[in-house]
Structure 1
């Protein structure tokens, strides 16, 4: 009898027998409590976290475990440490240490401007060091081919997400004027740096960065699409703070356009949703949208 279903499921009752079997395998007796958020099933078990990967996402288990092992103790913001990995009924699993702190989304509204500046600085410094790490688990990437591939699927991708035609018809023309294929060597990227993946400790500093399963190599500017959208949320002061702490010196309108370009080609991009979350400028042009979302 299988302890896990053959496909992905959000049914906690169906998953629990498999979760219990994994915990028993590693001699862990705590009661598993499922986190509500996340695209994959994740459970807290005392001081540990158990993350499950259905068969269709099995490859992400090895990648995330490898990246976490490569980064262990290397960044100024803590990342989970790998305790064990394995497989059960075709599902992969990663057992790791639990980071402590409160979610950034919960904490951010209570922080002073000075405390927010400190977190922005720490995030910029963390990403600068992440991008300098070798992270041998991540395969080499031909970034030019990635961009070409994403552009080939661009209109289909955004049309499926019901982006209004007034924006769809501008995408190719805008991207033709933006440098997406930078001369720099591709660097290790988290790709989804956002409050949902960041924790803050009692001292007001970032105490955790997690969820590395979509990590890849790419242009450093690709990383800052999610930073601008979800961390800074259109606040130019916050975004500039992160970029300066990272080490950017070319902060200005052209970088704003480049970050919007990276947003447009991002594998998880949903421009219509971002527009509902962050609003749109009175002028319905992508140049105006770049200034609105990434005001530099």
Structure 2
């Protein structure tokens, strides 16, 4: 198992990169991330995550200056011992409280601009239909491992059979737009970050995390979001992608979101205006 770098390790990396400033680790996140002084952030990737660096870098470069919300600017990338690193500009603000109508509207505007940016060539999957088919094949078992009850598990194939997930023009997807990856300052969204999970695919896939972690089943917030986005995603398609999402955890969703007696009912309550 790779050892997680300590603050002392990060100070050594700071010195080797010729940087100055106090080193402070951000508490949240699955990867070690450190503020270096007031202006920079150092994100570290252990060897098993080196493959995520090209995605992080490509999306960061593609989005900088293209959204109505600031994103980090790339400063450098490389290797420090067996850790890959990405050095970027630091964003300022606090995690927004959600659900909130104004935040939802600003997220909708941001997604409209995000999905208009040409996806970098490095992004996968190369074949969205094949990706969806693979996720569908393992969907029931994934949700079983998450702890979903048999009554719901046996409904998954029938629900997915009844949803047309036909071809959509692939767009650049962040895939995890949630309050934890957003910043707000002086009443405005002041940052979007964390791009290593980005993909190219159907736009409705994006609305899974947005509906669960930003609007949270609040219909007024959802309406503000889709109005600002300029297109209303079909609720059953978003529900299907909620089941098929790489990080889907349906039992957790059901604990946190409004209740329903079927996937159709959940689709309407979670992703319907």
- CA shift digits 1:19-50 (9 cap, x unpaired): 22321122212221111111111111222111
The offset of 1:166, in angstroms, is: 1.1
Equivalent residues in 2 for 1:1-296, closer than 5 Å: 7-10=1-4, 14-46=5-37, 47-105=39-97, 108=98, 116-139=100-123, 141-181=126-166, 183-202=167-186, 204-248=187-231, 250=232, 255-281=234-260, 284-296=261-273
Q: Judge which range, 16-25 or 73-82, deviates more.
A: 16-25
* Partner Cα distance (2:257, 2:169) in 1: 32
Partner secondary structure for residue 121 of structure 1: helix
* Partner Cα distance (1:121, 1:135) in 2: 23
The offset of 1:276, in angstroms, is: 1.4
Which sections of structure 1, spanning at least 5 residues, go unmatched? 1-6, 110-115
Which sections of structure 2, spanning at least 5 residues, go unmatched? none
TM-score by length of 1: 0.87
The offset of 1:285, in angstroms, is: 1.4
The offset of 1:68, in angstroms, is: 0.4
* Partner Cα distance (1:201, 1:262) in 2: 32
The offset of 1:137, in angstroms, is: 4.4
Conserved 8 A contact 1:60-1:213: yes
Q: Judge which range, 17-26 or 285-294, deviates more.
A: 17-26
* Partner Cα distance (1:44, 1:54) in 2: 18
Change in 2 beyond 3 A, CA 1:9/1:234: farther
* Partner Cα distance (1:152, 1:168) in 2: 13
Conserved 8 A contact 2:215-2:221: yes
The offset of 1:9, in angstroms, is: 4.0
* Partner Cα distance (1:16, 1:86) in 2: 19
The offset of 1:210, in angstroms, is: 0.5
* Partner Cα distance (1:126, 1:279) in 2: 26
* Partner Cα distance (2:271, 2:108) in 1: 16
RMSD of aligned Cα (Å): 1.7
Partner secondary structure for residue 56 of structure 1: helix
The offset of 1:17, in angstroms, is: 4.3
Change in 2 beyond 3 A, CA 1:8/1:274: farther
The offset of 1:242, in angstroms, is: 1.0
Partner secondary structure for residue 160 of structure 1: helix
